[in-house]
Chain A
Amino acid sequence: MNKAHNYGTDGHGHDHKAAPMVEEITDFEVLEIAVRELSIEHGLFTAEDHRRFTEFAESIGPAGGSRLVAKIWTDPAFKARAMEDPVKACLEIGIDWSKPTGFGTPSDYTHLTILEDTPMLHHVICCSLCSCYPRPLLGMSPEWYRTTNYRRRLVRWPRQVLAEFGLILPPEVEIRVEDSNQKCRFIVLPLRPSGTENWTEEKLAEIVTRDCMIGVALPEPGRTADVHPVVKARRPVHHEEAAR
C-alpha cells in the first residue's frame, strides 16, 4: 500500500477518503476572475450580461463557416464579394462579426482573411502565442488548438503535425502555416472535392467540417464529422499492480 497517497486503511483502497475536490486554475484564470468581479462591482456590466455573453460564445459552433465555404463553392459572385470583403460577406450567410457588442469582442476584432487553397497550396492556421481563432464563424476552438503542443509544433513541423491528423500531402504541395498573432482572423477555404458535382449548398456544407476550415483535414464526400480515432494503449498500466 502506498501510504504517501493515503488511499485508505483497509489495504484495498476501497475505503479511502475522497481527495479534496480542488480544481487547479492558472494565474490567467485568477486574473480573469479578478477583472470580471471588479468590472461587475464597478457596474461596467452585470453578472447576467457576462453569463449571457458566455453562453452566446459557447453556442456558436462551426456551422457558419461551413455555410460560408459551401456558398463560396457554389456562387462565384458571392466568392468575389467574400474575397474582397469577408466580414461584409458574412452578413449574407447570417454571421454578424459585430455581435453581440456592436464592435465584436476584444479577441475577435472584425478583420477576416480567407485563405484559399489551390491544388499546389494548402493552408493551415494556428496561433503560436495563444488561441486566436475565427470564433464568429467557427465558435470556440477545439481543446487541442489551444495546446502548446499544437501551436508550437505546427509552426516548426507542420507536415508532421498534419500527419498526426491523418493528412499527408506530397512535398510539391506548398504548406503555408498562418500564425494568427494580431487582429486578423483566418479561415481556410479548402478545395471542393471531386464527386460533389451537382450537390446543393446544404449538402456541401455538411462535409465542410471545423477541421477542414482550420486546415488539418480535407473535405471529402461521406466525411461529415471530425472524428479522430482513439488509439488504445497496447500495454495499459494496471494501477493496482503498480501500487503493490
Chain B
Amino acid sequence: MKSRTLEKTQNNIGVHEEHPLGVQPRFKVGDRVQVRDMPYLFYTRSQMWARGVVGTIAALTYSDLVPEDEAFNVDGRVEQYYIVRFRQKDVWPEYPFDNDSVQTESPERWLEAA
C-alpha cells in the first residue's frame, strides 16, 4: 500500500499553508479542550499524563493520518493536529509553581470541547 502520509509530506515541504489532504479543523487557538481517555489497541501517542486533563489549543499544526492508522499502514482518515497547552498545576495537583506549563500535540479525535 502506498503511504498517503509520504505523498502529503512530499507536497508539503516548506508549504505549510497548503494541505492537499486538508480537513476542516474543529477547534481554534484559545479553545478549551479535554484530552479523551480512550482504550486503544497496540499503539497510541496519547500520553497517559495528558488524559482527562483540560488544556488550551495553542496552535494548529497540520493535518495527517492518526498514528493508530499510520502505524499499521491503514489508509485511514486524515485529521487536524493541535498543540495543546496545559498548566502544570492542572496536570499534577501537587506541582509547586503556578506559572509553569507543558505542551503536547494531539490529533483531533483525542480531544473534546471542555
Residues of A within 8 A of B (CB): 85, 87-88, 91, 97-98, 102-104, 109-111, 113, 128-129, 155-156, 158-159, 171-184
Contact = CB atoms under 8 A, between A and B. Distances in A.
B40 interface: no
A158 B97 CA distance: 10
Nearest to B81: A182
Interface residues of B, number: 33
Given A88-B15, A158-B102, A177-B101, 12 more contacts: A103-B13, A110-B13, A128-B47, A156-B92, A158-B100, A171-B99, A175-B97, A177-B103, A181-B46, A181-B104, A183-B64, A183-B81
Interface of B: 6, 9-10, 12-16, 45-47, 49, 59, 61-62, 64, 67, 81, 83, 85, 88, 92, 95, 97, 99-107
Given A85-B14, A113-B83, A174-B100, A156 B49 contact: yes
Contact of B45 (A97, A175, A182): A182
Contacts of B12: 110
Contacts, number: 93
Contacts of A103: 6, 9-10, 13
Contacts of B47: 128-129, 179, 181
A111 B104 contact: no
Nearest to A86: B16
B97 A171 contact: yes
B77 to A, nearest CB: 16
B13 A183 contact: no
A184 B83 contact: yes
Residue of A98, A155, A183 with highest tally of chain B CB at under 10 A: A183
A53 to B, nearest CB: 16
A91 B13 CA distance: 11
A101 to B, nearest CB: 9
A172 B12 CA distance: 39
Contacts of A85: 14-16
Given A85-B16, A155-B49, A172-B99, A184 B6 contact: no
